[in-house]
Structure 1
Amino acid sequence: MTNVKRLFWILFLLNLFNYIDRQVLYSVFPLIQRDLGLSDLQLGTLASVFMLVYMCYAPLVGYFADRTQRQKWIGASALIWSAATLACAAAKNYAGLLFTRGLIGVGEAGFTTIAQPFLAENYPKEKRATILAAFGLALPAGSALGYLLGGLIGQHWGWRAAFMLAGVPGLFLGILALTRLKDQRRLLQPPADKPVAKDYLALLKNKPFLFICLAHAMITFIIGGLSAWMPTYLHRYLEMDVARAGAIFGALVVVCGAAGTYIGGKLADKLLRATPKAYFWVMALALAGLAVPAWTGIQTGNVPLALTCFGLAIVCLFLPTGPIAAAIVASTRAKVHSMAFAVNIFLIHALGDALSPVLVGQASDMWGLKTAVLLCCTAAAPGLAFTWLAARLERRAPETPLP
């Protein structure tokens, strides 16, 4: 196996368990709620505390990752989030669960901030949307496995067992990353090329980059709200037990999410031959295409039709996975790629899924979960506006190198 292929597969597997460990919580929401006597608002807060820690820690990691060998951060981060997932199983009360979920955010922020630029720098620009989309397939696959395994294990052996089994593989992968990955960019970079404060401040003046992040935040808001609450939605309104709701939603995520991720990456790279705005066209298509299937799925009482519509909505939400990452790489300087992704992580979670699970939970307590889910999906409208602004302000072709 070549070094590039080994790099891809180690990062892909880490990303897979990154999402398994993140999403397993949501499939066992009803079990935790019953065991600990929690409200929907408290359940949503369990999701949001992870995101709050995740987004705040990311810029710190980005700063040091731009100056040090990144494989050390990747491996250590995997060990942290895996150990924290195991610790969730030992939590005795709500406060303990809040703390361990926050610690998972520390580990996963350290990985996600670094992994995409680390991978993208090893591939030519004309293939980046595709390879980043392939890497992004771990999101629907890992999320689906989190729902599926969490639901099945939780149904038969309890929610604590689900966390225990989810946390173990990441420990081994973290050690593998520490021993087998090499950051050649750090070894070759002259000290003078290391980023300084003005390079980071330039990110905050880079309008296309900021609007890409804001559009991504709206997509993340929707994904975060649906990821946290759709298994519970299926349980409440379509009369599925916890195991079946987790399995069905997991299947929808892995099949439709993977299809959307793959199609989005391929489509963006093909469109790039015709227009430098290819990444933005795919983002706009995804946001505009979400409305009809989301509305229809929520309004209908027909189970097959509802699941079909939810599947189409998931395809739309995952279409921009590769194009967004490629657009960030293209719109920022190589020396600050880690910090660019850190800023993106901070913004998309501060305005996205750090808010949506708890807001959906609160709206559900007030008006019911159907209305709450529908309101969550309306974030597509500002997302479309931000995409248009990013496309209009970006004057440079994606393949133009940045110093």
Structure 2
Amino acid sequence: MNPSPEKTDTIKKPVFAGAWPVFALLLSINLFNYVDRQVLYAVFPLLKTDLKLSDTALGFLGSSFMLVYMFCAPAIGYLADSGRRPFWLGAGTILWSMATALAGIVKNYTQLLFARSAVGIGEAAYTTVAPSYLAEYFSPEMRGRIMGFFSAATPVGSAIGYIAGGLIAQHFGWRAAFYAVGIPGLLLGIAALKLPDSRLSSASAQPPRLSDYLQLLKNRVFLFTSLSAAAATFTLGGLAAWMPTYFTRYFGYTVGQAGLAFGALTVTAGLLGSLFGGYAADWLLKRSKDAYFTVSACGFCISIPFGLAALHAQCPQSALVFFFIAETAVFAYSGPLNAAIIACSPENRRSMAFAAFVFIMHALGDAFSPTAIGALSDMFSLKTAVSACIGVLGFAALFSLLAAAANRGKN
């Protein structure tokens, strides 16, 4: 049984026994979390042709996943804080991996919609438990970096989903893409089932109550942090869904080329942004209580002008450069804001805290941004729709600053 984070402040031990194997396993699972999630978007053009879908219908495939994902999260967070968390880590991983592979055998849009929605149940189980479970193996002084590395699985997994999904689909069809990315998660999920629960018995002595969610919403630091992440997720979710299609429409890329180009951009920018944001926040935390929020707000403000410049670029090379700078800046929020949620929530309610965080982040973020962009694209143009999506990052910066002000008042 590992020490609690509060105990680490006394003994000043930054890493506990078994921390790095657990980190490696959960990071690997988080990687496939985003591979399985983003492979759908790489095959959008093929699905549109094969199943004869509108852009709105395509966008709703992403939104349906998010709706199921966010509504399942609060119930799973409550159950996870009530019992053994590794069960939810492993079972969730196995479930979403099976659902991804089964998407390859669907015959129509309704069946595909059901399969992608089922992925949301499994991913909700994993995402609500993994960050707080992992954080207990490291001291608070390291959590910005650890969450930065953990969050780096978002761009890396997304890139693999784009690249592998696009290339496999181009050569073997979109069904093969779902088969290929769904299988590895089954083995990782089985390994996660065998993890110990590192939570101290004293931390779990008080059983959680559903009313604890109301207490979290009264915490202004938690609320503004969640709203900031929601605005960022709106933009990132929308871009993840539509940028490969953007490059096929405006620059004549093939499905494979678009997936490779945007995938390579996303993995590089996401890695740099996530790691820089985590390290910068840990460094600044020694000097300022607002470190998590300052780093995030600066990244959001930098990303907006470069993202808009990319949409007005006259050649794909310039567009990719501008998008690279914009994505690097925006991804700086991922480690700091996850660490902020851990810092402002009780240890024995952290699965519930992340469940509420997930719900707010996706309910107001990417649960509907792919559909919204698709609808705006049908009414106006895809370029106009993506421009509006990038503008939402202004709200992300505002809420980060409000979280910083609330944090100063709390302390």
TM-score (norm 1): 0.96
Q: d(CA) in 2 for partners of 1:262 and 1:191?
A: 32
The answer to whether the 8 A contact 1:200-1:336 is kept is: no
Match for residue 251 of structure 2 among 219, 227, 238: 238
Match of 1:303 among 316, 330, 339: 316
TM-superposed CA distance for 1:302, in Å, is 2.0
Alignment correspondent of 1:387? 400
Say whether the 8 Å CA contact 2:203–2:347 is kept in structure 1: no
- 1:331: which partner in 2? 344
Task: Write the distance in 2 (CA, Å) between the matches of 1:41 and 1:21.
Answer: 21
Kept after mapping to 1: 8 A contact 2:68/2:121: yes
Distance, in Å, in 2 between the alignment partners of 1:382 and 1:345 is 18
Residue 271 of structure 1 pairs with residue 284 of structure 2: yes
* Cα deviations by residue, 1:2-29 (Å, 9 ceiling, x for unpaired): 5111110110010000000000000000
2:163 aligned residue: 148
Matched to 1:183, the amino acid is D
CA distance in 2, matches of 1:205, 1:292: 34
The amino acid of 1:77's aligned partner reads: G
Query: In the TM superposition, what are the counterparts of 1:159-178 in structure 2 within 5 Å?
Result: 159-178=174-193
Q: Which residue of 2 aligns with 1:89?
A: 104
The match for 2:198 among 184, 189, 214 is 184
Distance 1:122 1:195 in 2: 22
Q: Out of 107, 123, 126, which is 2:122 matched to?
A: 107
Letter in 2 for 1:343: A
2:300 matched to 1:287? yes
Alignment of 1:20-59 (within 5 A): 20-59=35-74
Match of 1:313 among 321, 326, 329: 326
The residue aligned with 1:62 is 77
Question: Is structure 2 residue 352 aligned with structure 1 residue 322?
Answer: no
Q: 1:190 to 1:135 in 2, by over 3 A?
A: closer
Corresponding letter in the other structure for 1:178: L
Query: Could you tell me which residue of structure 1 aligns to residue 264 of structure 2?
Result: 251
Q: Percent of aligned pairs with the same residue?
A: 47
1:10 is the counterpart of 2:28: no
User: What is the Cα deviation at residue 204 of structure 1?
Assistant: 1.5
| Structure 1 consecutive aligned stretches of length 4 or more whose deviation exceeds 2 Å | 188-201
Unaligned runs of 5+ in 2: 1-15
SS of the residue corresponding to residue 63 of structure 1 reads: helix
TM-superposed CA distance for 1:232, in Å, is 0.3
Hey, what's the Cα distance between the residues in 1 that align with 2:120 and 2:358? 12
Distance 2:98 2:230 in 1: 28
Distance 1:250 1:361 in 2: 21
Q: Aligned partners of 1:343 and 1:104: how far apart in 2? A: 19
Aligned to 1:364: 377
* Match 2:362 to one of 304, 324, 349: 349
Partner deviation per Cα, 1:110-130 (whole Å, 9 max, x = no partner): 001100000011110000000
Give how far 1:198 is off.
4.6
* Cα displacement string for residues 188-217 of structure 1 (whole angstroms, at most 9, x for unaligned residues): 236643333453321011111101000100
Per the alignment, residue 135 of structure 2 pairs with: 120
User: Alpha-carbon deviations, 1:330-361, whole Å to 9, x = none?
Assistant: 11111110011000100110000001000000
Cross-structure match for 2:11: none
- Is the Cα contact below 8 Å between 2:289 and 2:407 reproduced in 1? no
Bigger shift: residues 86-95 or 299-308: 299-308
AA aligned opposite 1:280: F
CA distance in 1, matches of 2:74, 2:147: 21
- SS of structure 2 residue aligned to 1:165: helix
The amino acid that maps onto 2:19 is V
**8 Å Cα contact 1:283/1:324 also seen in 2:** yes
- The question of whether the paired residues in 1 share the 8 Å contact of 2:269 and 2:325 is answered with yes
Query: What amino acid sits opposite 1:124 in the alignment?
Result: S
> Aligned-pair distance for 1:184?
2.3
Q: Does 1:98 align with 2:113?
A: yes
- With 384-393 and 91-100 compared, the bigger mean Cα shift is at 384-393
Residue 387 of structure 2 is aligned with which of 371, 374, 381? Answer: 374
Cα separation, 2, equivalents of 1:385 and 1:204: 18
Aligned-residue offset at 1:295: 1.1
- Aligned in 2, Cα 1:190/1:224: closer, same or farther, shift over 3 Å? closer
Distance 1:41 1:137, change over 3 A: same
Question: 213, 223, 226: which one pairs with 1:210?
Answer: 223
Contact 2:221 / 2:407 at 8 angstroms: preserved in 1?
yes
Counterpart Cα distance in 1 of 2:275 and 2:53:
38
**Counterpart contact for 2:104–2:176, Cα < 8 Å:** yes
Structure 1 residue matching 2:199: 3-state secondary structure? helix
CA distance, structure 1, for counterparts of residue 275 and residue 328 of structure 2: 10
**Unaligned ranges ≥5, structure 1:** none
In 2: Cα distance, 1:4 partner to 1:82 partner: 25
Moved more, 210-219 or 283-292: 283-292
